[in-house]
Amino acid sequence: MERWREVPSSCDGFVMTRAAIKHAEDRLREAVLLGSKNDTSALEGMFHERLLCTLPDGRILRADDVLDEYRTGRHRVTHCEPRELVIELHEHTAIANVRVNLRGESGGQPFSGTYRHTRTYVREGGEWLIAADHATELRD
């Protein structure tokens, strides 16, 4: 289920659209699945250089740390099924909140569950880049 509020805005001559953020979220899903095969090329172009990523356990990772988790195989996602997406647009940023079912392995331990990610996107150099990502595991 996708819930979109129709409030487009513009900045620097670019009309921000929910479709662009939805496309970025779709690209991220594909990149995460490729990254789980140690191919981080797609992920590398998606993160802002000062990415701040908060994991469900409270650890904070930067862009290089996230990429390293995938490159080394310490983090692998084998199933990624988005269930709900809420997008809010602001002057020069967009916020995407997605509920997603995930399966994989992290630190040698299998995981499976429903998570909610809140991502902040910034528009830079003509691209939407993820500047922040906060993940929470949802409990039944």
* pLDDT tens digits along 88-107: 988 789 999 999 999 999 99
Residue 125, pLDDT score: 85
Whether 2 is covered by a domain: the verdict is no
> Stretch 17-23: mean pLDDT, rounded?
87
Whether 129 is covered by a domain: the verdict is yes
What is the identity of the amino acid at 84? E
Whether 58 is covered by a domain: the verdict is yes
Residue 21 has pLDDT above 60, yes or no: yes
Number of domains in the chain: 1
> Stretch 113-131: mean pLDDT, rounded?
94
Which range of 35-44, 84-93, 103-112 scores highest in mean pLDDT? It is: 103-112
Residue 32, pLDDT score: 92
Whether 125 is covered by a domain: the verdict is yes
What is the identity of the amino acid at 78? T
Residue 1 has pLDDT above 70, yes or no: no
Residue 28: strand, helix, or coil: helix
Whether 1 is covered by a domain: the verdict is no
User: What is the pairing mode between strands 2-4 and 75-89?
Assistant: parallel
CATH value at residue 49? 3.10.450.50
123-139 per-residue burial string, b: 16 or more CB within 10 A, e: under 16: beeeebbbbbbbbeeee
Residue 39, pLDDT score: 84
Domain range for 109 is: 7-138
Give the Cα separation of 55 and 67 in Å (integer). Answer: 14
pTM of the model: 0.84
| Between 1 and 73, residue with greater pLDDT | 73
Whether 130 is covered by a domain: the verdict is yes
